[in-house]
Amino acid sequence: MHPLHRHVLNLAERRHVIGGLTLLGLFYFGPYLPTELIVLVFLAVSCMAVTTHADTMKVAVVASGSFLVSLMVFWLNGWKSLAGEILTFGQATEEASVLMVLATLIFGTISWIKRLLNTKNAKLDKILEACNLYVWIGGTFALLYTIV
């Protein structure tokens, strides 16, 4: 094998690089993007990452369940937000989407840490995965701080 071909990233390494750069891009350029786009990209990255660490069905149940529970709480509360403001259906859907992303991020963090701690060898993809996990945890706490 030619020496330069050893450094070509495999699929797992490319996925970690793309996911990490996307999360960092959202952190830096997020204030300049529409909220709907940020939530959609964050959800896409979180579902992509979580499905690699956990069962896809579990991810779908966590995401859809947290969205539906949030909407039901808003409905039972008279379409009021957690801060007590009256919401339209669109605003309630947006807040439920944000809470869905938060639930998916927390679920992803827990499953990702479990998977990373059960690793026996440390190759480049595991190092990239640990770096992404660090950014992921920062994003989870940033979203939690924003909600609070």
Q: Could you tell me where the beta strands, DSSP code E, fall in 81-141?
A: none
Collect all residues with Cβ–Cβ distance below 8 Å to 7 and sequence separation of at least 6.
none
pLDDT band, residue 5 (cuts 50/70/90): very low
Report the mean per-residue pLDDT for the chain.
Answer: 80
pLDDT on residue 10: 66
pLDDT band, residue 67 (cuts 50/70/90): very high
**H or E element that contains 2:** none
Every domain of the chain and the residues it spans: 15-147
Residue at token pair 């952190």 = 27
pLDDT at 54 over 70: no
Task: For residues 91 and 68, give the distance between their C-alpha atoms in angstroms, rounded to a whole number.
Answer: 14
pLDDT tens-place string over residues 78-113: 888 877 889 888 888 888 888 888 888 888 888 888
